[in-house]
């Protein structure tokens, strides 16, 4: 029964992370910190939480990527100009684009929500976007997931 409960918890975390990728008011960072704190101080649970939430987030960001694939057809002149401006930046270097995806996934600036849409709009390689974004999200969430344990260790010393 314990294994089923644990699997259900991870599945729920993944689903909530997916929602948080699409609905900005659902905060994945609070989800990670709360779940990791409830899981206890064992670093394996904290990293599992980080991995599951990162994966759920990237499935959501891939959904935004696909939404961005249709964004180039927006008739608004203002939006076309903005898309063209970002298109120049995205077309310069695939490595620079992946660097931007990674930094945005870790730091949140520029907003990863917007970067996900733009990656789809400019047809960035989806597997590369997903893997680089997953690595960045994992770094972000691992730091947050391990923070409660680090704080407890600092207080005890």
Identify whether the C-beta of residue 143 lies closer than 8 Å to the C-beta of residue 93.
no
Residues 58-80 as b/e (b if ≥16 CB within 10 A, e otherwise) read bbbbbebbeebbebeeeeeeeee
Confidence of residue 1 (pLDDT cuts 50, 70, 90): very low
| pLDDT at position 20 | 96
pLDDT band at 72 (very low <50, low <70, confident <90, very high): low
Nearest to 54 by CA among 10, 95, 97: 10
Q: What is the pLDDT of residues 95-152, one digit of tens each?
A: 888 999 999 999 999 999 999 998 998 889 999 999 999 999 999 999 999 887 777 7
Q: Find the domain containing 150 and state its range.
A: 2-156
Per the structure, how many domains does the chain have? 1
pTM equals 0.85
Looking at the predicted structure, is the pLDDT value of residue 25 above 80? yes
Residues of the chain with pLDDT > 90, as a percent, come to 52
């Amino acid at each position: 029964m314990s294994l089923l409960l644990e699997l259900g918890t991870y599945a729920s975390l993944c689903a909530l992370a997916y929602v948080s990728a699409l609905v900005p008011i659902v905060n994945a960072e609070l989800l990670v910190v709360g779940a990791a704190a409830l899981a206890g101080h064992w670093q394996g649970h904290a990293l599992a939480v980080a991995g599951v939430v990162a994966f759920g987030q990237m499935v959501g960001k891939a959904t935004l990527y696909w939404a961005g694939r249709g964004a180039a057809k927006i008739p608004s002149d203002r939006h076309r100009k903005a898309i063209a401006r970002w298109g120049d930046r995205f077309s310069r270097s695939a490595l620079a684009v992946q660097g931007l995806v990674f930094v945005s996934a870790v730091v949140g600036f520029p907003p990863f929500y917007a970067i996900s849409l733009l990656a789809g709009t400019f047809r960035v390689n989806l597997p590369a976007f997903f893997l680089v974004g997953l690595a960045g999200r994992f770094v972000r969430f691992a730091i947050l997931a391990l923070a409660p344990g680090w704080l407890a260790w600092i207080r005890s010393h």
